[in-house]
């Protein structure tokens, strides 16, 4: 008998991608091992011992990318260097050391999955103090190239999104056998949905035969209202499914809009996989989560925004893979949709095939399998260890 295994998933709430990836892995684990696996999803930054500014990182992330995007880009690029990365990991190890230690004692995990990069150093410092290594998996939640914060040599496995990120990880010193391409985990329901779009639309009460454009917004999507206005007055034979993404002001605006096309308006939804499989294409920004889910669903992607720095490469990945387009104003958006629908939607169908080729709908299952294998191995006591010099320095300061 193996016995119940305990898997701890550590996330953060700077954007939606980290939490979504954590939920996806947990859902896959619960589906595959419902009786012999317990999963806890924790955001260590919510602990009151964490400095105030770090605890508010999720809120500050939203504010910076909306109000000061150039400043955010500058900080992202400056921090993406070897010396700065080392400094940040050192600081994280010192600041989060006690919080991580308490989490390890409380949950006694057999394996740990990190979907946020800055938890690795404080975990390894605790492993060193306790003379006990717990299998540690890092799951990267952006398309490549990504920030070097993600690449930490002491992790047992680094689960990456694309071959380009795999190459980047090896270039930054990770052993090839520690780097596994899984894709970014998306909810298992995306892989399980097999119904035809028209059938799903009929069940949702939408006209089943109309070309359906899914539009996904949030507080960080600036150009969406203009593109929506252009589509609404286009006279095209399509319908809109619009998700405000929790942006209450946008949702109120959408509710009071006079729609000239069939429009289905939502604020925040729990059935995004269903909506994606009901659609023929999607309009969104280049967030790692929404792009990954769209590719996994085989959707052509019309990008209206991206956060410079973090999301630049997501947009590039979509365009280089010929799975969508980036537009800079409402007229470009309308022109693009018209081109996609022309000639019986031949270009739309081609883009959909390219999207399916890039997508990895079973990424959460692959990550769950690797996490389960790590939990089976479980923690190990080691009397001798070769610690990175920076961890040894942190340990001296802490002790």
Q: Report how far residue 305's alpha carbon sits from residue 155's, in angstroms, rounded to the nearest whole number.
A: 33
Q: 97 and 21: one domain?
A: yes
Coil, strand, or helix at residue 178? helix
- Clarify whether residues 238 and 325 are in a common domain: yes
Same domain, yes or no: 284 and 373: no
Q: How far, in Å, CA of 332 to CA of 314, rounded?
A: 20
Range of the domain at 291: 189-358
Write the CB contacts of 109 (distance below 8 Å, at least 6 apart in sequence).
Answer: 6, 7, 8, 40, 134, 375
Domain check: are 301 and 367 in the same one? no
Helix/strand/coil (H/E/C) assignment for every residue in 245-286:
CCCHHHHHHHHHCCCCCCEEEECCCCCHHHHHHHCCEEEEEC
pLDDT at 222 over 80: no
Same domain? 256 vs 276: yes
Query: Which region, left, alpha or beta, applies to residue 341 given φ > 0 means left and ψ of -120 to 50 means alpha?
Result: alpha
Q: Is 185 helix (H, G, I), strand (E, B) or coil?
A: coil
- Whether the pLDDT of residue 247 is over 80: the answer is yes
pLDDT of 212 higher than 80: yes
Beta-carbon contacts of 220 under 8 Å, excluding residues fewer than 6 positions away, are 62, 65, 66, 285, 287, 305, 307
Average pLDDT over residues 35-61: 80
Residue 97: what pLDDT?
Answer: 92
Q: What contacts 92, CB < 8 A, 6 or more positions away?
A: 118, 119, 121, 122
How many Cβ atoms sit within 10 Å of the Cβ of residue 46?
Answer: 12
Where does residue 205 fall: left (phi above 0), alpha (psi -120 to 50 degrees), or beta otherwise? left
DSSP letters of 193-237?
Answer: --S-HHHHHHHHTS-TTSEEEEEE--TT--SHHHHHHHHHTS--S
**The pLDDT of residue 31 is above 70:** yes
Is the confidence at residue 305, as pLDDT, over 90?
no
Does 155 share its domain with 233? no
Number of domains in the chain: 2
pLDDT at 390: 44
Residue found by looking up tokens 């085989």 in the block = 298
52 with 14, same domain? yes
Contact in structure between 121 and 142 (CB atoms under 8 Å): no
Mean pLDDT of the chain: 87
Is there a single domain that holds both residue 88 and residue 234?
no
Whether residue 374 sits in one domain with residue 334: no
Q: Which of 72-86, 279-293, 377-391 has the lowest mean pLDDT?
A: 72-86
> Do 182 and 270 belong to one domain?
no
Same domain, 366 and 249: no
- Per the document, the length of the chain is 399
- Nearest C-alpha neighbor of 337 from the set 286, 293, 302: 302
Same domain? For 195 and 170 the reply is no
Instruction: State the CATH number of the domain containing residue 236.
Output: 3.40.50.2000
Region 36-60: mean pLDDT is 81
Summarize pLDDT for 70-85 with one digit per residue, the tens. 544 445 554 555 555 5
- Find the mean pLDDT for residues 293-301: 97
Q: What is the pLDDT of residues 306-332, one digit of tens each?
A: 877 778 889 999 999 999 999 999 999
Distance CA 392, CA 188 (A): 40
Q: What is the pLDDT of residue 335?
A: 97
Phi and psi angles of residue 129, each rounded to the nearest 5 degrees, phi first = -65, -40
């Amino acid at each position: 008998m193996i016995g119940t295994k305990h898997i701890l998933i550590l996330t953060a709430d700077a954007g939606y991608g980290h939490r979504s990836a954590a939920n996806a892995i947990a859902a896959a684990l619960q589906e595959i091992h419902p009786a012999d696996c317990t999963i806890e999803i924790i955001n260590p930054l919510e602990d009151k011992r964490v400095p105030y500014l770090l605890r508010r990182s999720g809120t500050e992330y939203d504010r910076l990318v909306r109000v000061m995007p150039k400043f955010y880009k500058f900080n992202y690029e400056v921090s993406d260097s070897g010396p700065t990365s080392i400094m940040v990991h050192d600081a994280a190890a010192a600041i989060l050391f006690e919080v991580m230690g308490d989490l390890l004692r409380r949950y006694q995990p057999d394996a740990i999955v990190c979907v946020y990069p800055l938890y690795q150093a404080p975990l390894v410092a605790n492993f060193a103090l306790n003379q006990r290594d717990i299998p540690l998996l890092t799951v990267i939640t952006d398309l490549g190239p990504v920030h070097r914060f993600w690449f930490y040599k002491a992790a047992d496995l680094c689960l990456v999104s694309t071959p380009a990120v795999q190459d980047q990880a090896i270039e930054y010193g990770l052993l090839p056998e520690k780097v596994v391409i899984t894709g970014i985990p998306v909810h298992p329901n995306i892989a399980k949905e097999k119904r035809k779009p028209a059938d799903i639309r009929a069940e949702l009460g939408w006209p089943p035969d109309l070309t359906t454009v899914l539009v996904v917004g949030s507080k960080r999507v600036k150009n969406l209202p203009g593109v929506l206005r252009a589509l609404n007055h286009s006279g095209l034979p399509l319908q809109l499914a619009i998700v405000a993404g929790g942006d209450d002001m946008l949702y109120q605006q959408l509710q009071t809009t006079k729609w000239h096309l069939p429009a289905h308006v939502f604020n925040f939804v729990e059935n995004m996989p269903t909506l994606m499989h009901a659609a023929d294409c999607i309009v969104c920004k280049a967030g790692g989560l929404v792009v990954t889910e769209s590719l996994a669903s085989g959707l052509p992607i019309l990008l209206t925004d991206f956060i410079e720095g973090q999301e630049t490469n997501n947009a590039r990945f979509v365009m280089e893979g010929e799975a969508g387009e980036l537009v800079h104003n409402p007229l470009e958006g309308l022109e693009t949709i018209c081109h996609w629908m022309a000639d019986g939607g031949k270009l739309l169908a081609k883009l959909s095939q390219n999207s399916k080729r890039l997508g990895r709908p079973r990424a959460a299952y692959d990550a769950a399998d690797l996490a389960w294998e790590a939990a089976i191995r479980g923690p190990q006591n080691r009397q001798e260890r070769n610690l990175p010099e920076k961890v040894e320095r942190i340990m001296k300061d802490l002790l």
